[in-house]
Structure 1
Amino acid sequence: MKFLNRFTSKVLFYGMSILAVVILLTLFAQALALAFYAAALILVLGIAAYFYCRDTNDSNPSDCSKSV
């Protein structure tokens, strides 16, 4: 019975440790994916804003490439 208690406690300890590592890795992966989505959104919005400025500013389209 003593062996069974030690065995189950080790299994529970290692199982919970592995579960904690997996949870932390998935949280890190989600944060990384969210950062990539945010970067892609900023890039797409920046390109769309440039083309919108270029199309609506007929008098001087070169103003659109200048930073504010």
Structure 2
Amino acid sequence: MKTSKKKLRDEIKRMKASFNQLKIQNKRKINLNLCLKCKQDTGNNFILVYKNNNELKGKICVSCYSTN
């Protein structure tokens, strides 16, 4: 009986830890200085890119945007 309770407690701890890790991954800050494609500094020539739900995804430099 005690071993099954201990296993359940350990499993719950693991589930909580993985859930917390997912929350941290979803709240990472966006680096708005770098291009999403080429990872170089965008400077003053950039285009803002949004997700489907109107959240800001990042920036793309004009040279990467023109190659699409």
TM-score (norm 2): 0.48
Q: Which has the larger strand fraction?
A: 2
TM-score (norm 1): 0.48
> Which structure has more RCO (C-alpha within 8 Å, separation ≥ 6)?
2
